Structure 1
């Protein structure tokens, strides 16, 4: 494609919205769905933007979809800055009513997102009914760079990127079993006795973080006859009374069917980190949810550490 000097008059700013969605999803069909238009509209708008800029922004591949060229990568940073600036400008000039409205997408680990964050969000939305939230409690890494979420709660602090990050909280995990299991299997008085028992655990080579490989650290060589990438699946399996499982206290302590085993000896502490893009952190709705999540995790510190089985909510 022949490059030429671009006139601002030839550039349709709305085309950048289409560019951003294609860059994030890598598929024109996915971008079309998110923008509520058809595939041909997305394709036409991308072609128009490339013509206006006089450069190729994507390499099209049958197998890999739309891959950003070097020029596309450079444009992506500017386009995201424009997008964030527009969001912030709307909040600043439209008054407090708009500032307390809008949409947020929050990514989170599966168990914490399902058993703690989701109930807390229900109370948050009672206070701010004009804000809507998508919660993505997924057993894999969620990308901020692709805008899969606006805020992420993860097991590990991001190593690099234009992010605002804070340690959210500590949480504990313990070894759990049903009463029936403990009554029908050899007694457990020390970690040495665990060698006679079966476990439920993660699929080691599919765990999205090394922080999840508790069993290997606790009992090297221990046999997990049932493994899953989902902590919720492990929790459900533990309830069947046929094996032991290391589970977060915020998930298992609420369930009277599960009892902690060797609570003093098997007490694993991990952390959650919360982060978002620097440009989004300035948005009022992001600030509101960010501060709320920090406040409610502090309120529930004892619950997350397994020192209480009662969840608290902010009035």
Structure 2
């Protein structure tokens, strides 16, 4: 047994584990190739070499299902992932002790917050730390930290399980908005009783990625959505065209002078964002710096997030 293990180790190219991890995370050789900056054939070849070295099949491969981990592959993932994190930590501690922050960080977030708040904030952070490469993923769904789709995540639901470090990032408010032109063309809105007679812009209920987004019916009983979208940004632009009333985050609509709040003291929805990352990444210097920066940026923009100001503020990175 020891001889067979030694033979496998002697044939093993440790760099092949990088390719293995990316395929395991994306479940596609083509997806792994894009993330690694190589072509499909290189990824497929490195996986075959790794399987030959270990003498076992790591993936079940099919055109429709892609690359699905076998039982042996699932066991290897845990070890390879731990090795990757250890190498990252070692490089971080050794290479950055006397130099500026460097490395790569991928940040996943909800779509609206990512585009309207995080993007400008991260641009300022990156200007101060030019050696830190940042990928921002503002998407209308949850990202998986387990699959390494992101290193940091900002979401509207607190993760209920997993090896994560999590903190509440901030509260934020949503209010009802419309253009002045829309309000001038339609029946006046003097109280909540007038709202059901108006057209609304909202989410596609059965496609919303979180029940936290289904606030229209709870906030305005009897409201009818004439235009629906899975994207809050699409709702924002539809509202800008005078397509109806929309419940929008204040950090989005509050920065746009063409939109005005409707019944601002009556129609208010309060939600919160959670910031979290994997425990094994939390102590990386670049992760710590960005984590602290995002918390400071949220604190420095409390007025914008809560609908008390239409101005975004920036802090020093």
Deviation at 1:98, TM superposition (A): 5.4
Contact 1:200 1:245 in 2 (8 A): yes
Cα separation, 1, equivalents of 2:5 and 2:295 = 46
Where 2:313 maps in the other structure, the secondary structure is coil
Contact 2:100 2:131 in 1 (8 A): no
Deviation string, structure 1 residues 62-111 (Cα, Å, up to 9, x no partner): 10100011221121111111001001101212243556111111111111
Where 2:148 maps in the other structure, the secondary structure is coil
Q: CA RMSD, aligned part only? A: 1.4
Cα separation, 2, equivalents of 1:236 and 1:169 = 25
The 1:63–1:256 alpha-carbon spacing in structure 2 relative to 1, beyond 3 Å, is: same
Match of residue 195 from structure 2 = 194
The 1:117–1:240 alpha-carbon spacing in structure 2 relative to 1, beyond 3 Å, is: same
Unaligned runs of 5+ in 1: none
Match of residue 53 from structure 1 = 54
Cα separation, 1, equivalents of 2:292 and 2:35 = 29
TM-score (norm 1): 0.95
Match of residue 292 from structure 2 = 291
Where 1:6 maps in the other structure, the secondary structure is helix
Cα separation, 2, equivalents of 1:175 and 1:286 = 36
Cα separation, 1, equivalents of 2:232 and 2:199 = 17
Q: Which moved more, 1:57-66 or 1:4-13?
A: 4-13
Contact 2:216 2:223 in 1 (8 A): yes
Match of residue 280 from structure 2 = 279
Cα separation, 1, equivalents of 2:116 and 2:4 = 55
Deviation string, structure 1 residues 2-40 (Cα, Å, up to 9, x no partner): xx9422223221111110011011111222232233323
Match of residue 266 from structure 1 = 267
Cα separation, 1, equivalents of 2:5 and 2:102 = 37
Match of residue 6 from structure 1 = 5
The 1:194–1:304 alpha-carbon spacing in structure 2 relative to 1, beyond 3 Å, is: same
1:65 maps onto 2:55 in alignment: no
Cα separation, 2, equivalents of 1:246 and 1:166 = 26
1:173 maps onto 2:174 in alignment: yes
TM-score (norm 2): 0.95
Cα separation, 2, equivalents of 1:97 and 1:183 = 62
Contact 1:6 1:54 in 2 (8 A): no
Contact 1:171 1:249 in 2 (8 A): yes
The 1:46–1:262 alpha-carbon spacing in structure 2 relative to 1, beyond 3 Å, is: same
Cα separation, 2, equivalents of 1:152 and 1:206 = 21
Task: Describe how 1:1-315 pairs up with structure 2 within 5 A.
Answer: 5-7=4-6, 8-96=9-97, 100-315=101-316
